[in-house]
Amino acid sequence: MKFENMNIEKSVLGSLNDIGFEEPTRIQYESIPIIKKGYDVIGQSETGSGKTAAFGVPLVEKVVKGGKIQALVLAPTRELARQIASDLKKFSRFKKLHIQTVYGGVSIRPQISGLRKAEIVVGTPGRILDHMRRGTMNTSNVKIFVLDEADEMIDMGFIEDIETIEKNIPKNRQTLMFSATMSDSLIRIRDSFTKNAKKIKTKIKVSDDILKQYYRDVNQKTKFSLLVHLIKQEKPGLSIIFCNTRRTVDAVSRNLKDNNVNATALHGGLSQARREKVMEDFHKGITRVLVATDVAARGLDIKNVTHIFNYDIPKDPENYANRIGRTARAGKSGKAISLLSRDDHGSFTRIIKTFSYDIEKMKITNFKVLPFKKYQPNRNRNFRSRRPFRKRFRGKSRRRW
Ligand code: ADP
Ligand code: MG
């Protein structure tokens, strides 16, 4: 099957040709015609299988130039919101649609003026709600509502924000939800946000021969040494090391630098300018090792990521699936290696049970034991000093990356 035979608007087809998409992936092939017909869709497919275009292509087809905000796309992180917006820009290149990103940590003024001309808005729930409350975003003409990685937005504690947003957009719209993982937490909004939704579920696990998973038991004290050993042995292209907390991310990245590994930290405690610089350098391969919290677990599509290391094991099995899904995307292969100390075993067992994963024990010969310095949490200017706006009017605690 080719995109040419899918009855896609000429200008959009032209953009797909330009970016080199010829054949639709399975989820695209199944979703695009149904979305074009106007159905609500709940789509699930493996990481890296092209879900963005599955909703993005019919979305840009339906949106008309100069017709106010017609599509609203929600994502759990700022990085993902930027990436989706950038993809939608590519798909709509010849239609010249105005796509506005809306997320916190940056000045609100340019967003306000951008929103006046926008036909598509992509953002994170907190700042979108902020604009709705300020009356700076006219949602009266929204016809398509997309929730990318909806399960993550709910698990993060965004459910009330999302419900408030949903109450303030037209009822007779089309709703699309896409994710590689769908947890039970989704049921509440799935049933209240959609009408007669078509469920489209293709393969949800990346094949074992493309994404190879390994684990290794290790003493907490020598975990860092093993990580350094593995980086030197595996010689990754780009790699992401996931940790469960900001503090561990900072400590691991600093210790890696002490050991001549050019690593950069990414987590939600950094300023937005810093987050953007880190992502840019990683995309360009200027830094080849990213040490991150789960802020980077969802949706990000970075070419040449060959290795994922789990320095800690995530509590949510879904986040494990999404972390490892940052590699082995779009048919490329990749490796995921989890370092297990005593505290990690409970979570790891749950992950294996949830997804029936085949995870191989990694054989490792001796490795050099290195010191691991305890650094004080970073307080430099790259750190956010202002409390985020949404915290000021709601006390509920959220998961923090
Ligand atoms: P998902 O959301 O399912 O994790 P993405 O939408 O991020 O996946 O797409 C993963 C990668 O596959 C991206 O680099 C994207 O450019 C590429 N891709 C998507 N659809 C196609 C296609 N039809 N042909 C070729 N590459 C594609
Ligand atoms: Mg995605």
pLDDT of residue 384: 55
User: Are 25 and 46 found together in one domain?
Assistant: yes
Q: Provide the whole-model pTM.
A: 0.95
User: Are 193 and 238 found together in one domain?
Assistant: no
Which of 178, 201, 224 is the last residue in one of the domains? 201
Flag whether 373 is in a domain: no
Flag whether 372 is in a domain: no
- CB within 8 A of 246, min separation 6: which ones? 267, 268, 269, 293, 377, 400, 401
Mean predicted lDDT score pLDDT of the chain: 94
User: Are 245 and 347 found together in one domain?
Assistant: yes
Q: Phi-psi bin for 147: left (phi > 0), alpha (psi -120 to 50), beta?
A: beta
Flag whether 163 is in a domain: yes
User: Are 62 and 107 found together in one domain?
Assistant: yes
CB of 24 closer than 6 angstroms to any ligand 1 atom: yes
Residue ranges of the chain whose pLDDT lies below 70: 377-398
Which CATH number characterizes residue 7's domain?
Answer: 3.40.50.300
Which of 139, 172, 201 is the last residue in one of the domains? 201
pLDDT of residue 375: 81
CA distances from 391 to 107, 273, 395 (A): 17, 20, 6
pLDDT of residue 397: 54
Flag whether 233 is in a domain: yes
**DSSP string of 222-264?**
GHHHHHHHHHHHH--SEEEEE-SSHHHHHHHHHHHHHTT--EE
Whole-angstrom distance, CA of residue 206 vs CA of residue 49? 9
**How many angstroms separate the alpha carbon of residue 322 from the centre of ligand 1?**
15
Ligand lying closest to the C-alpha of residue 56: 1
> How many helices (DSSP H) and strands (DSSP E) are in the chain?
15, 14
User: Are 140 and 252 found together in one domain?
Assistant: no
pLDDT of residue 401: 81
CB 36 within 8 A of CB 111: no
pLDDT of residue 382: 57
User: Are 183 and 125 found together in one domain?
Assistant: yes
Residues with CB under 5 Å of ion ligand 2 are 51, 299
For residue 182, the enclosing domain spans 3-201
CA distances from 273 to 8, 216, 266, 278, 288 (A): 38, 36, 12, 9, 19
User: Are 179 and 246 found together in one domain?
Assistant: no
User: Are 267 and 357 found together in one domain?
Assistant: yes
pLDDT of residue 393: 41
From atom 4 of ligand 1, which residue's Cα is the shortest distance away?
A: 48
Partners of residue 292 on adjacent β-strands: 242, 266
Flag whether 82 is in a domain: yes
